[in-house]
Homo-oligomer: A and B are copies of this chain.
Amino acid sequence: MSLINFSEGFFIAVHSLILLEKHKPERLSAKFLAQELHSSQAHLSKVFQKLTKAGVVTSVRGPAGGFVLNKDSEEITFLDIYEIVEGRVNISGCVFGKSYCAFTTCIFGNELNKLTKEVYDKLNSTKISDFR
């Protein structure tokens, strides 16, 4: 149990994109990336379908096919990647994600929201090119 925990999908996305950056302009296949990350190729493929549709990478089918990072994708933030994979991030609101609470003031006040904001800022200030 970890208090801050990112999903396997996000793990795959950031690690793969950094690998693509490092191997630029090589084209890397889903199979290769999955092996490299010790992740499921099926899951990785699904994640890359999202990244392709979002325009982060370009896919090429067929033999010697695979994925390449798009020109301006080095400057994409981890927050963008997070939202492509996980959906829109909500920075405000209770850490319990509840709309109703029996108490008038949220138990944790905004202390945890402040920490959430810090995680958000960290994601938003980190780019693929930071790992050149």
Contacts and interface: CB of A to CB of B under 8 A. Distances in A.
A112 interface: yes
Interface string A96-132: 1110111100011001100110111011001000010
A2 B95 contact: yes
Given A2-B97, A15-B101, A112 B122 contact: yes
A120 B6 contact: no
Report how many copies the assembly holds.
Answer: 2
Interface residues of A, number: 45
Interface of A: 1-6, 8, 10-11, 14-15, 18-19, 36-38, 83, 86-91, 93, 95-98, 100-103, 107-108, 111-112, 115-116, 118-120, 122-123, 126, 131
